[in-house]
């Protein structure tokens, strides 16, 4: 069998949720497991986190339905809310929580007859300008929802921070001030902090937080101090494969498509069974590290669909069959992403179906 696999440490994900809870002890956390739990396996992650959280969050209704069909009966917050009026009835039947972000969705929930009320959140636009109600839309939305009997408990007022990963960003302070001015008169529970808000903006800690990327052991900021709160996070995924071929190159010989890398010394080159068809970034440049036999070795040459090549010249004893870590405990996924001109979120969520997840 092909040696490529992603090893997921569910206990580390639970640990990282505990870090979020310790950083914001006055908040309740809704762990975000959208996009297949950022590539870590939504069903398995949901089972691990459900005992530790009042609800879990997904992006859209299809993700929530898939979890229900897999036997996950925990409350699920649907962050994009309903896409049609029938989704409101489905949410009531299945116990989904709904985030509403436009007046049309408010109308659907206000006007439908439901067997039971739905836990409801309202998204407020404070400057990210993707989703959310404008300031003048908040009072009528609350009035309509809370007068019809279709809402369970208090409506939660929520917003999303667009630059919280920049640890000293004036725009985040503007968003926080605007959200406070818009919501304080309504005396409803609030939700502001994503992972970056939890880690770097204590003033964003409200009644509800929504940790996502940090759950998987990753820092959402490239500017944060490694000795800060992110130091407690534990990487949840090890992307792993193995060397399937080794050969010696003379100085001047090239490797891979286009021979974009050529040996400057007698070199020992290993071929590893992973490529962009698995989700390894095609634009990873020569020099991107992998971990083999207890040390780092550089990627050399162009990433192929199924394989990469690495320089093993300085790795004593490396040979066919040796395990290779592409990212994980020894090679942070953020480092691989930065070298490849992207972000760790994309690498984790972009694993393809060719990569089996093992826990």
Q: For helices 61-69 and 85-94, what crossing angle results, to 10°?
A: 30
pTM, full prediction: 0.96
User: Once rounded to an integer, what is the mean pLDDT over residues 293-299?
Assistant: 98
Report whether 130 belongs to an annotated binding site.
yes
* pLDDT, tens digit, 9 for 90 and up, residues 190-199: 999 999 999 9
Q: What is the pLDDT at residue 133?
A: 98
User: Which residue in the list 213, 216, 257, 345 is annotated as catalytic?
Assistant: 257
8 A C-beta contact, residue 44 and residue 237: no
| 222 pLDDT tier (thresholds 50, 70, 90) | confident
Known binding residue 305? Answer is yes
Beta strands in 35-105, from DSSP E residues, in sequence order: 56-58, 76-78, 96-100
Q: What is the pLDDT of residue 148?
A: 87
Domains of the chain and any CATH numbers: 10-220 (3.20.20.10), 237-358 (2.40.37.10)
pLDDT for residue 226 is more than 90 = no
Q: What's the mean pLDDT in 353-359?
A: 97
pLDDT at 149 over 80: yes
Asked if residues 21 and 198 have their Cβ atoms less than 8 Å apart, the reply is: no
| Calpha distance 47→243 (Å, rounded) | 34
Q: pLDDT for 91-131, tens place per residue? A: 999 999 999 999 999 999 999 999 899 999 999 999 999 99
DSSP letter for each residue of 187-198: ---EE---HHHH
Whether 28 is catalytic: no
Tokens 């399937």 found at: 244
> Has 34 been annotated as catalytic?
yes
Are 42 and 36 spatial neighbours (Cβ–Cβ below 8 Å)? yes
How far apart CA 156 and CA 127 sit, in angstroms, is 19
Percent residues over pLDDT 90 in the chain: 95
Residue 277 pLDDT greater than 90, yes or no: yes
Distances (CA, A) of 17 to 13, 28, 97, 233: 6, 11, 20, 9
């Amino acid at each position: 069998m092909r040696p490529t696999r992603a090893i997921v440490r569910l206990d580390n994900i639970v640990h990282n949720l505990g870090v979020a809870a310790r950083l914001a002890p006055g908040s309740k956390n809704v762990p975000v497991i959208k996009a297949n739990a950022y590539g870590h396996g939504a069903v398995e992650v949901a089972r691990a986190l459900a005992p530790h959280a009042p609800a879990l969050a997904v992006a859209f209704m299809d993700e929530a339905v898939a979890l229900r069909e897999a036997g996950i009966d925990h409350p699920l917050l649907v962050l994009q809310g309903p896409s049609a009026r029938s989704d409101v009835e489905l949410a009531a039947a299945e116990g989904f929580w709904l985030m509403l972000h436009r007046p049309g969705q408010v109308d659907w929930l206000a006007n439908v007859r439901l067997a039971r009320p739905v836990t409801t959140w309202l998204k407020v636009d404070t400057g990210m300008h993707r989703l959310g109600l404008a300031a003048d839309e908040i009072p009528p939305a609350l009035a309509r929802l809370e007068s019809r009997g279709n809402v369970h408990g208090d409506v939660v007022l929520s917003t999303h921070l667009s630059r919280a990963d920049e640890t000293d960003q004036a725009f985040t302070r503007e968003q926080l001030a605007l959200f406070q001015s818009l919501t304080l008169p309504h005396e409803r529970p609030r939700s502001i902090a994503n992972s970056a808000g939890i880690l770097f903006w204590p003033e964003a800690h409200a009644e509800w937080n929504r940790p996502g990327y940090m759950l998987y052991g990753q820092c959402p900021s490239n500017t944060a101090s490694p000795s800060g709160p992110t130091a407690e996070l534990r990487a949840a995924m090890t992307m792993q494969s193995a060397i399937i071929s080794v050969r010696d190159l003379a100085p001047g010989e090239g490797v891979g498509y286009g021979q974009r890398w050529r040996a400057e010394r007698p070199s020992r080159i290993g071929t590893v069974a992973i490529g962009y068809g698995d989700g390894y970034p095609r634009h990873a440049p020569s020099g991107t590290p992998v971990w083999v036999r207890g040390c780092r070795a550089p990627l050399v040459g162009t990433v192929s669909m199924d394989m990469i090549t690495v320089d093993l010249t300085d790795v004593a004893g490396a040979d066919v069959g040796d395990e290779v870590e592409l990212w994980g405990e020894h090679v942070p996924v953020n480092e691989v992403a930065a070298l490849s001109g992207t972000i760790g979120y994309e690498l984790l969520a972009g694993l393809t179906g060719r990569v089996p997840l093992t826990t």
